[in-house]
Amino acid sequence: MSDGFALTANAQGAFAVSGAISFGNAAQALRAAPQGDATGKTIDLDLAGLADSDSATLAVLIAWAAQAHARGATLAYRHAPPALANLARLCDVERLLGLEAA
């Protein structure tokens, strides 16, 4: 599933990402940003199904967090794969993404 990704929502309003967010589909991923239904709400986003993390993946996750913040919401990234957590640490953005404990 390296050519695409999917963003799905459950009945409780949490989201999950599967597949890969890469340079080839980053623009599509940006347009598919998770949308919360309330200002001040924390939106959970499960990253366990995310594959092949690279700098494009980080850029999209940062942009999604910024978009949520602009709407008055917060994205809470959960279950980051080790490769993504390591890349975020290397790029010094793990705190920005809330991955310090990953």
pLDDT at 39 (0 to 100): 67
Q: Read off the pLDDT band of 17 (50, 70, 90).
A: very high
5-97 has CATH 3.30.750.24 classification: yes
Number of H helices, E strands in the chain: 4, 4
pLDDT at 100 (0 to 100): 64
Give per-residue pLDDT as tens, 44-102: 999 999 998 999 999 999 999 999 999 888 899 999 999 999 999 999 999 889 886 54
pLDDT at 4 (0 to 100): 87
Q: 71 exposed, middle or buried (CB, 10 Å; 0-12, 13-18, 19+)?
A: middle
Give the domain ranges of the chain: 5-97
Give the tokens for residue 74: 């917060």
Backbone angles phi, psi at 8, to 5 degrees: -120, 150
Q: How much is the pTM?
A: 0.89
